[in-house]
Structure 1
């Protein structure tokens, strides 16, 4: 939710800067692109200073979500690794024609 709040505030700052350029007289068709560029640069500078706490909160929320997702994947992977190891230990080794066990026969090194 904090990312949405940051995005809305940043958009409002851009719209405010664009309105300010319009009020300063950049209304002609030829000046519209320049007005948008000036508004974008001004909103970038203003957002970097004014919205710093909101940006940090949004970043912390995203980092927390990523950490939780990584932890869930680790828990899930460790559970499946243990099951695979138990299945491997429980399986008897079979002999091949050359006298090697099944694990040795799959090896590239002989």
Structure 2
């Protein structure tokens, strides 16, 4: 939800900046591209300052979801990881008589 809120606020800032450029007189067909560029740069600068707390909340929410996903994968594959760890140990490659399969 935090990411959606951040996205909506950022879009509103861009639309506001675009409206401001239109009100400043960049209304003609040939000025529209310039108006969009100015609005994009202005909204980027404004968003970087004004929306910092919202961006941090969104980032924390994403990090929390990633951590939960990793924990679920670890819990689901806990037995497989234990088997892999058993096979990865160096003494697993050595036979009981002390000889190794590797040459």
TM-score normalised by length of structure 1: 0.74
Q: Superposition RMSD on alpha carbons, in Å? A: 2.2
How far apart in 1 are the matches of 2:79 and 2:36?
A: 54
How far apart in 1 are the matches of 2:30 and 2:61?
A: 42
- Which residue of 1 is the match for residue 49 of structure 2? 49
Structure 2: any 5+ residue segments left out of the alignment? 85-94
The alignment of Structure 1 onto Structure 2 pairs a total of residues equal to: 92
How many angstroms does 1:4 deviate by? 0.2
- Which residue of 1 is the match for residue 27 of structure 2? 27
How far apart in 1 are the matches of 2:53 and 2:16?
A: 20
TM-score normalised by length of structure 2: 0.79
Q: Which has the larger radius of gyration?
A: 1
Structure 1 segments (4+ residues) deviating >6 Å: none
How far apart in 2 are the matches of 1:79 and 1:43?
A: 50
